[in-house]
Amino acid sequence: MCKMILNLSVLVVIVIQLTRVNAVCPGLVTKKQWGGLSPLHVQYLPRPVNLVIIQHTATPTCSTDEECQDIVQSIQNNHMEALNFWDIGMNFLIGGNGKAYEGSGWLRVGAHTYGYNSKSIGISFIGNYNTDVPLQAQIEAAQNLIQCGVEEGHLTPDYNLVAHKKLIATESPGRKLYAEIRSWPHYLDNVSSIKNH
């Protein structure tokens, strides 16, 4: 009897852990919900990840669910058909409608920052933030997503958050988004320790 109860307890713990791994963060539009294609190949990230890279898509912005979904689908099509990526490159995208969109997600290696894909989560704001101003709803969606990542064990509690342009030669995440994220918790300006590993 004791052995059966012990086995049942172990089973409950395993189910809870599996549920947490597959949990969906509040406000997250899953790939299935936005009509995303399945990846051609999958490489898994080691978990938890300790690096979050903020970038922008350098596309038009979106303010409605339909506009944001169309842009995310268009980005995935471009990445998979023109660039021969396995999937959409970003792990997540943030729309002007205040929603986060699942790209490669928490568990899979994306294709967003050469040299850093296998050890980071790339979060891309939809728009061009050299000219566009990030909306408060977008900022909150991104911060809530990151907090959910910590709570669900996908990100380390002491993760580092960096601007895309600090790691590779790019204008991403754009001047106005760059100015915003520099005040966020865990923002790391001096990335030499990251680059040396």
In a domain, 12, yes or no: no
Do the domain assignments include residue 9?
no
In a domain, 11, yes or no: no
CATH number at residue 39: 3.40.80.10
Q: What's the pLDDT at 17?
A: 42
Q: Is residue 143 part of a domain?
A: yes
Is residue 88 included in any domain, yes or no? yes
Domain of residue 107 covers 27-195
Tens digits of residue pLDDT in 23-50: 579 889 999 999 999 999 999 999 999 9
> Tens digits of per-residue pLDDT, 160-186?
999 999 999 999 999 999 999 999 999
Residue 64 lies in a domain: yes
Tens-digit pLDDT profile for residues 88-121: 999 999 999 999 999 999 999 999 999 999 999 9
Q: Per-residue pLDDT tens for 122-132?
A: 999 999 999 99
Q: Please count the structural domains in the chain.
A: 1
- Please write down the HEC assignment for all residues of the chain: CHHHHHHHHHHHHHHHHHHHHCCCCCCEECCCCCCCCCCCCCCECCCCEEEEEEEECCCCCCCCHHHHHHHHHHHHHHHHHHCCCCCCCCCEEECCCCCEEECCCCCECCCCCCCCHHHCEEEEECCCCCCCCCCHHHHHHHHHHHHHHHHCCCEEEEEEEEEHHHCCCCCCCCHHHHHHHCCCCCECCCCHHHHCC
Question: Would the pLDDT of 22 be above 50?
Answer: no
